[in-house]
Every structure is written in structure tokens, then in C-alpha cells.
Amino acid sequence: MHIAIIMDGNGRWATQRGAPRTFGHRAGIQTVRRIVEAAPGLGVSTLSLFAFSADNWRRPPEEVSALMGLLGAYIGSETERLITKGVRVSFIGRRDRLPAKLLSQIARLEAATAGGAALQVRIALDYSSRAAILQAALALVPERATLDGFARTISAPADHAPDVDLLIRTGGEKRLSDFLLWESAYAELWFTDTMWPDFEPQDLADAINDFSQRDRRFGGLARVA
């Protein structure tokens, strides 16, 4: 099962507590650990997490810098744990605008976890789905002009994953925000008011249970009991 999550609500969660927005992002990092560790036991094979969109560069420079630093700290503290848990991590999105130090950390993490087989985690960083689709369209050669060929061109071979089965958004908003638009063509959607720092493995289990009861027809007819 491929689950995609738009991790929303960190800043608002912190503001509600009278704390800086970066406090919420730090709490959100802890949620990432909990969800990554719980996912395989819930039948999840691929987990795509929206960490930073191409539009997020519009945020105050100090917040962007803090986010990049937090991601680097997460990589430094979690690499060995991810290897032990059999988690393979890859990043999707642009890399040419990321800090050089973070790029090196990302490369080391991807190499160190390449053998993980328990769970594939894809982190969307400086990511825009529309930009990825445009890039794929420009790169596609005629002999690969098929739906599957196009899907594989959108991301690098190492990052390619099945279509999204269930897309979750925390924080109360009900939109896709330019996340995995092509891959989510037939995804089931699940929205919750719970802010990302408060999102627990039980919330993930509840979403998956709700998903399991839906009738996914993919354009066909309803199932007959």
C-alpha cells in the first residue's frame, strides 16, 4: 500500500501554544519518526511525505533556514535507526536550490539506506507536482509516450513508486496543494483536523481502516456482494 501524507499544521500547532513556529516543526519531526516506525505494521510498503513545497520558499527566510536545519538534524540522528528498521529513504523534488551541506547529508542517507526492504519512504523536498509533470513531458521521447512510461519519467528510477492508494492531509485543510497529482489520480482522500504534531499511529490506523472499507472501482462498476 502506498500512502502519501501532507504533513500540515506544525506552525499553527505551535502558535496555539504561544511558541515559535519552529517549535511546531521540531514536534513534527518526532511525529515523522512515530509514523515511519508504525507504517510497516499497518501494511504500508511506501510512504510519501510532503516536507517542503516549491512554494514554501515564500516563507520568511529564518523559518526556511530552520526547516532545512531540522531536516539535516533528522538525517544525522535517524540514519542508523532507519537502517536498523530496514527503511529505504529517497527524496523527490528539486535539489539545485538546497544548501550544499543538506545535499551531502541527503546523498549519504540515500546511499546508507538503499538496502532497506521493510518500507520505502519518499520525502518531497522543494517539490511541485506540476513542475515534475512538465519536466517529464519535456523529457519524454516518443517511444516512451505511454502512461507507464510517463509515470516513470516523472521521478528518477530509484524514486519510482506505485500510484498512491490513500492520501492523508492533516491540519484541517482539504486540498492537494500540488502534491503527487499524477500519482494520486485514483487515490482515496482522508482529511483530518488533527495537526501533524498530534498525529499518532492510531490516527494512521483509523485512516487505513476507513480506506479498507471503501469500494475502489477505478471507473468500473460497484462490487456485488
Q: Where residue 221 falls among pLDDT bands split at 50, 70, 90?
A: low
pLDDT in tens, 170-196: 999 999 999 999 999 999 999 999 999
Q: Where residue 217 falls among pLDDT bands split at 50, 70, 90?
A: confident
Stated pTM of the model: 0.90
Question: What is the helix (H) or strand (E) element at residue 3, kind and residue range?
Answer: strand 2-6
The verdict on whether 203 is a catalytic residue reads no
In a domain, 148, yes or no: yes
Q: What is the CATH number of the domain that holds 31?
A: 3.40.1180.10
Q: How does DSSP classify residue 217? A: -
Q: What pLDDT score does 152 carry?
A: 75
Q: What pLDDT score does 144 carry?
A: 61
In a domain, 224, yes or no: no
Catalytic-labelled residue, pool 8, 126, 165, 203 = 8
Catalytic-labelled residue, pool 10, 55, 56, 163 = 56
* Structural domain range at position 163: 2-212
Sequence-ordered list of residues with C-beta below 8 angstroms from that of 88, at least 6 positions apart, any chain: 113, 114, 115, 116, 117, 119, 120, 121
The verdict on whether 163 is a catalytic residue reads no
In a domain, 66, yes or no: yes
Question: Structurally, how many domains does the chain consist of?
Answer: 1
Q: In the predicted model, is pLDDT for residue 222 greater than 80?
A: no
